[in-house]
């Protein structure tokens, strides 16, 4: 890659100039000037920028299969919120896919449970509080797609031949960064 390719590489990775600057340890204005062809960076700055682009490329190249939690814990829609909260606490998780029979019908997360604090959670059902079922993706779904989905959703389920084989949460995505 050459310095004139920085903009193209950055945009392909869906990075902003500010994100690239932060990752490369340079100013955003330097990235802007490099992309406009106004300045040639020093060797050390160019090396840091290319290194940041390479790191971002590797981060975005993983798939759901590589980061998913394989042991998915489900809860039935007829269970109580108290049971859901207890299960989440015991397992150290922040959401549970909700099932009716073999079908995933929703998801219950810490957010929904927190919204009813002060009410009798032993009397409230998961079904009455759950949110929409999370999307189901294939194991080969890439990081960019997972990231876009997780901007709006607490988790994404992963299926293989119609069977749920994993779950990707925001926490799973964060693990890939560190």
Q: Comparing 3-59 with 64-177, is the CATH topology the same? A: no
Q: How confident is the model at residue 50 (pLDDT cuts 50, 70, 90)?
A: very high
CATH class of 3-59: mainly alpha
Q: How confident is the model at residue 62 (pLDDT cuts 50, 70, 90)?
A: confident
- Residue 118's pLDDT is 87
- Residue 57's pLDDT is 78
- Residue 13's pLDDT is 83
- Residue 60's pLDDT is 59
The predicted model gives 134-153 an average pLDDT of: 92
CATH class of 64-177: alpha beta
Rounded to the nearest angstrom, the gap between the alpha carbon of residue 149 and the centroid of all alpha carbons in its chain is 7
pLDDT at 178 over 60: no
What single DSSP character describes residue 69? B
Q: How confident is the model at residue 177 (pLDDT cuts 50, 70, 90)?
A: low
Q: Which residue has the higher pLDDT, 164 or 56?
A: 164
Average predicted confidence (pLDDT) for the chain = 92
Q: What is the C-alpha to C-alpha distance for residues 16 and 166, in angstroms, rounded to an integer?
A: 31
What residues does each domain of the chain span?
3-59, 64-177
In sequence order, the 6+-apart residues with CB closer than 8 A to the CB of 169 are: 69, 93, 94, 95, 150, 154, 155
- Residue 14's pLDDT is 80
Q: pTM to 2 decimals? A: 0.66
């Amino acid at each position: 890659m050459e310095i004139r390719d920085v903009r193209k590489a950055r945009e392909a990775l869906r990075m902003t100039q500010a994100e690239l600057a932060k990752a490369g340890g340079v100013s955003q204005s330097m990235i802007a000037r490099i992309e406009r062809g106004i300045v040639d960076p020093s060797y050390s700055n160019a090396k840091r920028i290319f290194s940041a682009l390479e790191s971002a490329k590797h981060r975005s190249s993983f798939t759901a299969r590589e980061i998913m939690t394989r042991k998915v814990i489900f809860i039935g829609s007829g269970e109580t919120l108290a049971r859901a909260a207890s299960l989440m606490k015991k397992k150290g998780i922040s959401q549970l896919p909700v099932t009716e029979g073999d079908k995933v019908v929703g998801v219950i997360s810490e957010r929904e449970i927190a919204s009813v604090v002060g009410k009798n959670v032993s009397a409230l059902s998961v079904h009455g509080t759950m949110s929409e079922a999370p999307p189901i993706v294939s194991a080969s779904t890439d990081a960019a797609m997972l990231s876009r989905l997780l901007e709006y959703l607490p988790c994404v389920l992963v299926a293989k031949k119609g069977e749920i084989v994993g779950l990707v949460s925001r926490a799973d995505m964060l693990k890939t960064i560190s």
